[in-house]
């Protein structure tokens, strides 16, 4: 539950939930694939809490939500299907590289306000190109999120800020909505066809929900730079440990 609370806060603030919750599930002794699907199922509650607390930032974004939700949901289903058809040994082999790549991305990420500024200029100069880039980027990130998900929130937020030029708070609210829909479809597939550790889902989901509710008010006030740096370094350490196991 404590891991869920920390993951919910970092997920709704910086898009980094899985880099907290996934290692916590591994620490309980769950196999990597089981930990991954369990994590995805629990993350649905994080999105419920975060979206509910982001209603002020979602006002006026109805058209974007209508466009992006189907793309996010389709991507989540595709990623989940890819995971279910991947041999567990292959998944275990690539997970350290996914985590390492996600951690490096977090450490190198430009500040969200800079991305939003660039996005404003791009959307004004080339509105049609920005729209296509937004749709393609959301679909691609959602496939990755359905398959594994670590740092998918960071990727999705970057795509949205670069293609919409919205403020960080409004981009973050849109990110929580789209990733929530993607996670929901992937979670349904995992609940039906995968080995979910339900005893771990319940306390993790409870913590994620509370963290999701508390996160959006914080993102309106707190810079996420040091949070991203700390989790990025921790992710590199985790990747090294898993690669040597």
How large a percentage of the chain has pLDDT more than 90? 34
- Residue pLDDT, tens place only, 64-100: 999 999 999 999 999 999 999 989 888 888 888 877 8
Confidence tier at 1 by pLDDT (50, 70, 90): very high
Rounded CA-CA distance 11/20 in Å is 9
- Residue pLDDT, tens place only, 149-198: 766 877 888 888 888 888 777 888 898 899 889 989 999 999 999 999 99
* pLDDT greater at residue 95 or residue 22: 22
Burial of 27 (0-12, 13-18, 19+ CB in 10 A): exposed
How far, rounded to the nearest angstrom, does the alpha carbon of residue 14 sit from its chain's CA centroid? 9
Confidence tier at 17 by pLDDT (50, 70, 90): confident
Rounded CA-CA distance 202/41 in Å is 10
pTM, rounded to two decimals: 0.80
For CA atoms 82, 86, 88, 90, the dihedral sign is negative
Rounded CA-CA distance 92/40 in Å is 17
pLDDT on residue 115: 67
- Residue pLDDT, tens place only, 37-61: 999 999 888 888 888 888 888 999 8
Which residue, chain included where needed, has tokens 């430009």?
A: 110
């Amino acid at each position: 539950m404590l891991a869920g609370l920390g993951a919910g806060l970092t997920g709704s603030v910086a898009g980094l939930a899985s880099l907290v919750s996934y290692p916590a599930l591994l620490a309980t002794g769950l196999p990597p694939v089981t930990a991954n699907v369990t994590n995805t199922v629990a993350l649905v509650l994080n999105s419920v809490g975060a979206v509910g607390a982001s209603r002020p930032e979602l006002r006026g974004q109805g058209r974007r939500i209508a466009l992006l939700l189907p793309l996010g949901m389709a991507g989540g289903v595709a990623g989940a299907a890819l995971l279910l058809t991947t041999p567990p040994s292959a998944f275990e082999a690539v997970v350290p590289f996914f985590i390492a790549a996600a951690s490096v991305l977090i450490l190198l990420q430009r500040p969200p306000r800079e991305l939003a500024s660039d996005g404003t200029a791009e959307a004004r100069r080339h509105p049609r190109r920005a729209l296509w880039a937004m749709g393609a980027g959301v679909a691609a990130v959602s496939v990755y999120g359905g398959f594994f998900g670590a740092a998918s929130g960071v990727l999705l937020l970057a795509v949205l800020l670069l293609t919409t030029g919205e403020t960080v708070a409004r981009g973050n609210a849109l990110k929580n909505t789209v990733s929530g829909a993607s996670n929901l479809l992937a979670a349904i597939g995992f609940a039906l066809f995968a080995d979910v550790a339900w005893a771990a889902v319940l306390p993790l989901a409870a913590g994620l929900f509370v963290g999701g509710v508390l996160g959006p008010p914080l993102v309106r006030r707190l810079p996420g730079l040091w949070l991203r740096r700390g989790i990025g370094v921790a992710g590199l350490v985790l990747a090294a440990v898993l690669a040597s196991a």
